[in-house]
A and B are shown apart, each in its own frame.
Chain A
Amino acid sequence: MAPVSTERDLRLDLFRGLALWLIFLDHIPSNAVSWITIRNYGFSDATEIFVFISGYTAAFVYGRAMRQHGFVVASARVLKRAWQIYVAHVFLLAIYLAEIAYVANSFDNPLFTEEMGVLDFLKNPDVTILQALLLKFKPVNMDILPLYILLLAWFPPMLWLLLRAPSIALLSSATLYALMWLFEWNIPAYPSGVWVFNPFAWQLLFVFGAWCALGGAQNLSRWLHSKVVVGLAIAYLVFAFAIAMTWYFPRLAAFVPKFVGEAIYPIDKTNLDVLRIMHFLALAVITVVFVPRDWPALKSWIFWPAIVCGQHSLETFCLGVFLSFAGHFVFTEVSNRVFTQIIVSFLGIAIMVAVAALISWYRQAERQGGGPRPPAARPGYAGGDA
């Protein structure tokens, strides 16, 4: 173990790992197992957890780099990371194109003539692939990585500000979020519409995560443990749960007063609705209060599978997207019985854990072996990625 990894808050890895599992489960269409994921029981989902923790770890890793080596070196590392994620995104895109090209050639049910039109872009790949490389054309469920790339590309100046005036940085991020709502800012997408995850909105959670990593969490801890805050968080989670139940049992919707419905709907994921932020914050408060940082169970084998996935989040995320394609393919070609869905879900998670463990082992071996490229063992990278 590198000395730095003991400083790392294992809870971050744990919850990022869990978020990656949930994202995988949610990304397999018609998956019965996705019934268990948190998006069904409240307003926010795994995306919020992932973006917040990504901001936290980015500040944790690159903040130290910026303090020790200066703005230019740290920025270069952040941009290198953004580039890696871009390459990963393009790799996933190639797999996606292979999948849909297969479907286009093998499926011709007259019931779905209209839906098959979605494959028409295969007829002019020149435009489509170019738009995909520009991050304007993004297939379904491939929206998080482009968001992450953009957030990182814009992160160096924000990190600089966060290190000097954290409150001003957080305030400017919140201002950007407010301006986004006011002027309806978003980035155009191809062939039409806008980015599914509006970067002007989601940057707030990323910056808030970074702000927490750079000392904000300590300032907040006094408030976090107050009974009032915990009570409010629990009340809000119960409220969100009750509302979520009306989505599945329409008859319950009659119990929701009209003004409540008008106030809360639609709950906008693209622009990161305030209700979603509040739900995430409530979950975070409960988590921080009931799962202390030095909780011994964090070191036990029970949580190891999720933690190891969280420590190699980019690889695990990409693998999860690939596996969700593969899982959907199994449902289509082999069987879509509930039993198959359960097997596919658990097998997918097992593969994610196995690969993350392999990467972990390889990194450690590389570090200890003192191979030809010792810089890989730079402490900034130890124990996980940003």
Chain B
Amino acid sequence: MRRLLLLALLMLGSGPTWAEQPAECQVAENLIESNFRLPQVTRALKAKHLTVLVVGAGSSQLPGSNGTASGNAYPARLQHALAQQLPGVDVKLTTDIKARRTAAEMVKGLPAALSAAKPQLLVWQTGTVDAMLSVDPDQFSQALDKGINIAHSAGADVVLINAQYSPRTESMIALGTYAEDMRWVALQHEVPLFDRFSIMKLWGELGTFDLYSATKKLDIAEHVHDCIGRLLADLVIAAAKPEEPPVNGSR
């Protein structure tokens, strides 16, 4: 039923959608729409210089074929998509990504990373490791609060990214509470949330990507990251330039 519902939403939402998006990346628009704006990014786009800092844990990187981190993970794809869609804007992207970090651990490194990169946008992926270690949800929310406040006072807008949908480990990691907390904190701070979990879940249900696959190859993973990078770019641009297309057709 839920799947039917999502399918229906997908059809409803498939009005004027973003032209250059590969068909497989498309998701129901309500999954990537945000009611909140990114004023610092808007200003940066007018000044033609946008600096983005991506802070994340293991699911923000991909192992490359040569053992090092791959350039095909979503942060690099985000930069690519932004540069493509924002001709004339100089898009810089730096990352602070290390596997197995909880939100609180990432917050510790945040002031240094922010003052080094001086970004107008912080993209913050978190939640998975906290759920794996079943960190006290209150402490998780407090870490999110703190991180968002630090970024705002450093002059950066924030976009939160929640955990991946990982069907094989679903019976082992209880993401529910942490996803809910992220949604709530995002609402309170009026910060856009990129709902990676629901998007990937929809891809799994539609059969876009086989997320159950036990493959060791990188192709599916790189595809997923590419789509995440593109959708993330759409969300950022829509939230930074609400008056210009691409806009939501149904409003």
Chain A residues with CB under 8 Å of chain B are 29-30, 32, 35-36, 99-100, 103, 106-119, 139-141, 184, 189, 191-194, 196, 248-251, 254, 261, 265-266, 269-270, 324-325, 328, 331-332, 336, 338
Check A115/B62 contact, CB under 8 A, given A32-B2, A140-B171, A250-B30: no
- Cβ of A115 and Cβ of B171 under 8 Å apart? no
Judge whether B133 and A108 touch: CB under 8 Å: no
Interface size class of B (residues with CB under 8 A): 35 or more
Choice from A32, A193, A325 contacting B136 with Cβ under 8 Å: A193
- Do B134 and A113 have beta carbons less than 8 Å apart? no
Cβ-defined partner of A193 (8 Å) among B5, B133, B166: B133
CB distance from A321 to the nearest CB of B (A): 10
The answer to the question of B3 belonging to the interface, with a C-beta cut-off of 8 Å to chain A, is yes
Cross-interface CB contact of B170 among A30, A36, A110, A193, cutoff 8 Å: A30
**A residues less than 8 Å from B212 (CB atoms):** 331-332, 336
Whether A114 contacts B135 in the complex (CB less than 8 A), given A32-B3, A109-B213, A332-B212, comes out as no
- List 15 contacting pairs A-B, 8 Å CB cutoff, sorted by A: A29-B171, A32-B1, A35-B1, A103-B168, A107-B214, A109-B213, A113-B99, A193-B134, A193-B136, A254-B35, A265-B187, A269-B177, A332-B167, A332-B212, A336-B212
Instruction: Take A99-B171, A251-B30 as given contacts and tell me if A114 and B177 are in contact as well, using a CB distance cutoff of 8 Å.
Output: no
Are A192 and B170 interface neighbours, CB within 8 A? no
Known A-B contacts: A139-B172, A192-B133. Give 6 more (CB < 8 A).
Answer: A110-B62, A115-B169, A117-B129, A193-B134, A324-B171, A332-B212
CB pair A325–B171 under 8 Å, yes or no, is yes
Q: How far is the CB of A26 from chain B (nearest CB, A)?
A: 10
Q: Distance in Å from the Cβ of B224 to the closest Cβ of chain A?
A: 6
CA distance A117 to B187 in the complex (A): 30
Q: Is the CB of B63 within 8 A of A110?
A: yes
Question: Are B129 and A114 closer than 8 Å at their CB atoms?
Answer: yes
Pairwise interchain contact B167-A336, C-beta atoms closer than 8 A: yes
Is the CB–CB distance between B164 and A112 below 8 Å?
A: yes
> When chains A and B are docked, how far (Å) is the Cα of A250 from the Cα of B187?
11
Check B216 for interface membership: any CB of A closer than 8 A: yes
How far apart are the CA atoms of A100 and B168 in the complex, in Å? 10
Do residues A111 and B221 form an inter-chain contact, with CB atoms below 8 A?
A: yes
A305-B137 Cα distance, complex, nearest whole Å: 38
Which residue of the partner chain, among A115, A249, A270, A324, contacts B59 with CB atoms under 8 Å? A115
Residues of B within 8 A of A112 (CB): 59, 164, 166, 168-169
B62 CB to closest chain A CB, in angstroms?
6
Q: Which of A192, A248, A332, A338 is the one whose CB lies under 8 Å from B168? A: A332
Contacts of B168 in A (CB 8 A): 103, 107, 109, 112, 115, 332
